Amino acid sequence: MKLSLADATAWAAEVFARHGCSADNARAVARALVTAEADGLKGHGLTRIPTYLTLLKSGKVDGQATPVATRAAPAVLAIDAAHGFAYPAIDLALRELPPLAASQGVATAAIHRSSHCGAAGWHVERLANANLVALMVANTPAAMAPWGGRVPVFGTNPIAFAAPRDGAPPLVVDLSVSKVARGNLVAAKQRGEAIPEGWALDADGHPTTDPAAGLKGTMTPLGDAKGAALAAIVEVLAVCLAGAALSASASSFLDGEGGPSGTGQLIIAFDPRAFGHDRFAPLMTALAASITTQDGARLPGARRFALREVAVRDGLVIPAEALAAAQPQT
């Protein structure tokens, strides 16, 4: 089945509403999954529908949850996602942060009792579209051991960053601190495909090309010890500051076993106008040009915007596993 982005969003929203989400929550989840799919980030796209529906059915995610924001300090929002999907809580943060950053120069939203946040680059991209520089970190259930260890302590703990550019799409960086996002293993397992060696280790600590074995084992950190150190930094920001569940105690995003995951996200928005000069825009232009004028180099985020343009023009093919999971239960 091939649908336009608007129709794919409406279809996905209807699926989530039928499986227990409020209308607002269903739309928030659908927008996030469809955007990730359009951007070529399949591991965070529509292939997530089967596991998301499992989370709803088991009660690990409350489809009726309403996130609540509290002003913890003049420039700090504390957001309780109420064990719902992360997307409504993130959407709430993205509505509140721009005016707060405009008044304070820098503003932060710390989200707790949350869940899988999907493609984090899209969240910071929206702040960049509001002329803010944005940084987001999130923790995920433990899937990566500290460097030299065997027992998972950290999640793949994504880091995303975006900065606006005059008359052009923003610079967007979106990475996990593992060599690849765990969603890539999930997608490979669903397709029955092998994964490249070096992505993950099995439960005995050996390199594996079997995504199922990798999901039972640990992810390989990006840059070896440096990636494990970055995971620890994210854990401090997204968990210890936000008051969320440590990755080591968070239940899986991938099944209905256990209670709510309770993970956290931290988003920081910087207003360039607050930094005492008017050189931000020309400096960003010069920085971008120093990258894009080199043969073979591209600005971070360029690939996702190019793929999104194609998806806007041609629509999306709905994955078979998403279609199967979305069928009404009899």
pLDDT in tens, 291-310: 999 999 999 999 999 999 99
Q: The pTM is what?
A: 0.93
Cα distance between residue 185 and residue 200, in whole Å: 9
DSSP 1-43: -EE-HHHHHHHHHHHHHHTT--HHHHHHHHHHHHHHHHTT-GG
pLDDT in tens, 34-53: 999 999 999 899 999 999 99
DSSP 46-107: GGGHHHHHHHHHHTSS-TT---EEEEEETTEEEEE-TTS-HHHHHHHHHHHHHHHHHHHSEE
The pLDDT score that the predictor gives to residue 109 is: 98
Per-residue confidence at 329, pLDDT binned at 50, 70, 90?
low
pLDDT in tens, 124-162: 999 999 999 999 999 999 999 998 888 899 999 999 999
The pLDDT score that the predictor gives to residue 327 is: 85
Q: Partners of 69 in the beta sheet?
A: 79
Neighbours of 312 (CB within 10 A): 13
- With CA atoms as reference, report the closest residue to 158 among 189, 136, 186: 136
Q: At residue 125, what is the residue type?
A: E
Cα distance between residue 107 and residue 99, in whole Å: 9
What's the rounded mean pLDDT across residues 220-239? Answer: 95
pLDDT at 330 exceeding the cut of 70:
no
Q: How many helices (H) does the chain have, and how many strands (E)?
A: 11, 12
Beta strand 106-114 pairing with 76-80? parallel
